[in-house]
Structure formats: C-alpha cells, structure tokens
Structure 1
Amino acid sequence: MTTLTPSASPRVVRELADDLAVDADLRDRAGKPPFDEVSRLREAGLPALLTPSGQDSQGGRGSDWRTACTAVRDIAAADSSIAELLAHHHALSWSPRLFAAPDDAAALELRAVHEQWLYGGDIDLPDAQTGTDLALTPTVGGYVLHGRRPLTANVAVADRLAHTARRTDTGEWVVVLVNPAHPGVSTEPAHDPLGQRLSGAGGVSYDDVPVSADQVLGTVPVDEHEISPFTALAPLTRRLLLVQVGLGNAEGALAEARDISRALPRPGSLATLDTGGDCGTPPTDPYLLLAYGELATAAHSAAAVVERATEALAQGLGAGPALGADERADIAFLVGAAETVTAQSALHITTRVLEVTADAPSPSTDPGLDRFWRNARALTAHGSAAHRLRDIGEHYLNGLH
C-alpha cells in the first residue's frame, strides 16, 4: 500500500489525474462499475490520505484536510465521477473521529488503513421531524440491521458502509459500520444516471444483518442543541468535498475547451486540425476572448470562495472537541456560500464551453465536453440554492446558527 506524504502528494495526484484524463470520456460512456479506477486510487495512496499518521498530538489533522480537498479537486478536473467517489470516502473515513470514543476511533482507523478500506454510505444528522429507513434491533450479543437506502454513495465498490439508523428499543439515532460482503446485504447500482456515471452510487438493502456492539460507532442526539459542534461538522465535510468535485469539474471543462479553441484552424492559417500542430497564430476573435475572460473570472471567483471555506473547515477539524458553536456556525456559513457560488459557476461554465467550442470538428477531436455539463447537473441537482441562501441570510442578518 502507498501512503502519500505532503511533499509527494501533488506529483502523485497530477500523475493519476493525467492517467484518468486519457480515457475519461470512453469510461464515462461505458458506465461500468469503477473497480479499475478504485485500484488506481489505492495504488496512488489516496484513500489513506487522512490516516492517523498525519495527526498531531491533539488529534487534529486540519492540514491533511487541505491536502485531501486539493487532491479531490485535481482528480475532478480529469474525472469528476472518481473524484466524487473519493470525496465520499474521505468524508466517511472521518466518522470514527466524529462519533466514536477516541481510543475506538484510533483503533478503527488503523485497521482501515491496514486493510485498505474504501468507505461508502451516508450519515445524516437527525432532527425531530426526520426519519430513517434503517432500523437497528437489539438481539442477544448485538443487533440486527434492517431496511433500505435508495441512494447511497460508493455502494458498488465500498469495503465498509457507514449509516445512521434508529434503535427500535430506545428510538436513539446511532452510527453503524457494516461489511457489505455479508449475504444479508444486497446492492443495486444506479441505472442510466445523467451524470457522475462512475461514482459507484446505488441502493442498498439490509435483511436482518448482524451488527456487533463494536460496529456501533456512537449515538447522535436527536435534539440539535445536544450535538457537539465538532460532531456537527460531519455533513459539512461531505458538502465541502463535493464542492471541490464541482469546482474541479468546471475547471477541467474550461481547460479542455481552451485546448480546443487554441487548436481550431483560423482564417489565414494553413494549419488544420489533421496536422496535430499549433495553428501558428493565437485566437483574436473579440467575442471568443470576451467569453473566455468571463469564464476564467467565474472559475477564479468560485475558487476564492471555496478556498476560504476549506481553510475554515480545516481549522475547525483541527480544533476537535474544543470547537465552539459560533465557530461551527461560521464554517457552515462559508460552506453554504461556497456551494452556492460554485454551483452557479459550474453550471454556467460547463454550458458555455459547449457554445464556444461548437465549431470544433467531431468526433475525432471531440473530448466529450458534454460529460462536464452532465456531471455539473448531477452534482447540483440535489441541493436547493434558495434554502442555502435563506440560511446564509439568517446567519448574516440575525446571527442564527
């Protein structure tokens, strides 16, 4: 197993991104389960990026989160489906730290690194109005898990699935970790998704699957005021990592479009696309230059907002249980802003690049720019910008958490 070091990771990530970019469009069209891609991630050491070896004496690993976010964003520029898979893994791999006792969390993380686990699943923070599809029933010596989750991250390739479930005896919400290899676990890949076709998402069902006591990571209070600010970072880690996927996808689309526009034959030039060479003179169409100026500005603006949120979340994770409610609220504000700005920019960029490259011959020189647009649509379809903006406004105007 390879474990990345901070100095080596940028080079390794770039090499992996370049490798994924070579056949990204072909793999997207084939839509096969990403077993080979997961092997490439493991060979590069990316699933083990957030390992105990990176933590400081206080248990904080904020600098690792910055590195993980950068890696997800760089991979997304080449293949956002695989970046989403990695993003969910990174967010869920922190579940022991956020929900379990420190000693139990450390032991579980070491085992995960040793056995090269890839995490999947979904963890929601409950409130009094929400429910869960999963029920955990006490039995002699442990529990059994029953129910179905219609859409779960990484189910096609995960080694462990993390979920929130409700205990049937007490009504408490708990976080459980399940081995999907058990015969009582059945998975069903998502069929014909619009975008993010290789992310390994799908449905999962549990038919009285045994769960031992040590597979229950911890209890999640239903009352939001009883949840510690540190534990309440759990959904923010997932959301921000998915923002990195969306931003990387937009940046990848813009870079691909730039290469196409530079290579297009222009009036007065003898070069053609068949020569494979440079056309000699740079593009001078003022409307094309205006379009790329607009798109580059949108990408840089989104990146600035995302980087600020990334820094804030890294500091919050580094603070650990000492994190205060006000600090957590500020982080949520920045993550919500990053989601909103990035969603707008990603949809705009991935749509416009189809227009500015419309004159490119196809299919021989077509890199499959439509996949960037489809992936952007898939990544932004499940969040409500109006709800995010309302929450941001509540925090900014009234100081509400």
Structure 2
Amino acid sequence: MSARVFVAGVGMIPFVKPGANAPYPEMGAQAARLALVDAGLAYTSIQQAYVGYVYGDSTSGQRALYTLGMTGIPVVNVNNNCSTGSTALFLARQAVLGGSVDCALALGFEQMNPGALGTVFNDRPSPFEHFDHEAAERVGMAELPLALRYFGGAGLSHMQKYGTPLESFAAVRAKASRHAVRNPLALLRRELSIDDVMTAPMLWPGVLTRLMACPPTCGAAAAIVVSEDFAKRHGLRTDVSIVAQAMTTDTPDTFESRDMMSLVGYGLSQRAAQRVYDEAGVGPRDLDVVELHDCFAQNELISYEALGLCDEGEAAAFIADGDNTYGGRVVTNPSGGLLSKGHPLGATGIAQCYELTHQLRGTAEARQVDGARLALQHNLGLGGACVVTLYEAV
C-alpha cells in the first residue's frame, strides 16, 4: 500500500523491580496519558486500542483504559509472550494502514513477580511442550528455568559452531550497562565491566552468568499511530514513519534443524527482517540504530547475525570491533536494552518503539545517535512470534 503510518505520540514510565511498581491499571493509564500528551490528542480521538500483557486476566486492557475514559471503542487484549507489545503495535499499525481507523493506540504493561519466568496454567498442555522436548534432547539442563535453558543453549550452540568465547557475551552485557547509564527510564544504571559480568555467579558453568540475563521488571509504554490524512487534519507531527513491518511465527525448521539457535527464534528473526528489508528496499547496512531483543546477552549476539547486522559467525568480531555501539557500524540498544532497561513483557516492544521514535526525532538527549535516520526494532517471543519494524525519520 502507498499509505503512510506515522508515530504521533509515545509514552513510557520508568521500569522498576517487582514490588516497587504501581498496580497495572495505574501503570498502563500513565503511559497512555504520556503518549496522548506527546501527540497532543485527547483520549476521545483514539478509535481503536490494542493492549498487550502476558500475566493478567482477560480484559485487563479495558481495566487500564477505562481510567482514561469509557468511549465505547474496540479494545483488543493481546498476549504473544515476550513479543506482546510489538504485536499490539503490529495490529494498531495494520488497522491504520488498512484504512479501518485513522488513529489507534498500542499500549503494553506488565506487573511481574520476582524470579524466573514460568508457566501459570499447569493443569493443561504447555505451549512449550515441543520446545521442552527438543531442548531436553539438545542440551538437557532440565533443572534450569525454561528461558535460561533455551537461550543458554542457543549461546552454547553459537560457541560450538564458531568458537565464540564467553567474553563476547560478557562484552554485550557491559555495553548494555554503558548505554543504560544515559537512560533515566532504565531499571539498572550501574556501569559494568566485562570482568564484572564474567565473575558474576554462574547459572550454567561456562555458558551463562547471572548478569547475562535480563531482570524481571514492571512497567508500561504506549504509542499512538495515525494516518497521514488524520495527522494533517489535526496538526500532528509526521516526523517518524513506520515504513515496513513483518510478523513471523515458527515453521518446521524450528524443530527439524536440531539447533538451539533455531529453537529460540533465529529463523523467525531472519525471515521477518528480510521481509522488512525487501518491503522497504533497504539493507541492514543502511541502519543507524537498532533496538533488538536482548533478553539474554546470548540472544543479542545471535540476533546480530539473524538481522544481518554482520555475517554469520562474525558476531564476536563485530563486538570486539565496537561495531555495535556509538562510533561503530550501528548502535544497538541505546536504551540499555532488556538487559539493563528491564523486560516487562507486555511493555517491551512498545518501549523499543518509544526509544527509536525519540532517536529519529533527535530528542534522545544523552543517548542520541548522531544523524539517526533509519531504525530497526526486533521483538521476539518464544512459542513463538517475532515482529520486526522499520522506522524512518521523515
């Protein structure tokens, strides 16, 4: 389609540890208000809302938005694991692009408990049943929580294929901390050295330290997307456009490849990114800034290759050369990423949108990537789904 969709407003609240948060309706409403103020719109202008969260009862989206008003609009509750926020954004943009509405809200929030992720409904088949079976055959380590087992196994696969040292993953985590120091909305803002990361308690000896995993987090973020005609009629900003977007789910190679990297979404990421590049007529070397799904340092490293930021097997060199940070080829996760900013599951994808919108506006302050014009967002959920979004400064 030739129609353009613009990000008219974004809002985000500081991410915090479980227990330090307000209840989810307050967090969600606060983020939505901030996006409305940023856009210069009243809530009555919103024609549809897509609300993402993983840990919550059905219609929690309405509970949060009714605080702003009961306008009778469609409110769609979204749950797609860690890609929930970007799935809500995907649906909101799709509604505007297709002409169903001119103004849509994507909201994400999460009120999490301390500790590792786990399943809630244990009286029925798990959506991870086939993933667990494959992970058990590939790496064992059944005593570890599922996310550590999956992503640690993916990192181990990369180490075995390409000789990637553990220090490369530690360098990713140290880079995340350096970036987060500049982000007042990030959860963890203490700068770490590679040695700090390497000497942290080992969760999987030789494969994964505690500091290579993102923390459980509570928070919320929101984005308002509009059509070009709506923006002109209401005098809204049109300086950031979503020029391409793709969502993928698993294909048989997730299991048939017998590779832990594929099991955690390498193929999903690769296919979604390629669709976006093809649709926009650009390549990964055209990007200025990227917010990618670094739930573990291991996943950031393999995502460099899946997204085409470097060639397969070259991620360790990409990191060692500083090509993933300021002054390098492309700045990855200037926000501090999930590793330092935090990972409130339903909010994560929209928080990435918040960061990239400010980068392309030139309003990211101490985090600003000089001359940022083209930005890529990558948000991944096991089970599985991946959303890749390309933004352009107009």
TM-score tier, shorter chain, comes to under 0.3
TM-score (norm 1): 0.23
Q: Which one has a bigger Cα radius of gyration?
A: 1
* TM-score, normalisation: structure 2: 0.24
Going by fraction, where is helix more abundant, 1 or 2?
Answer: 1
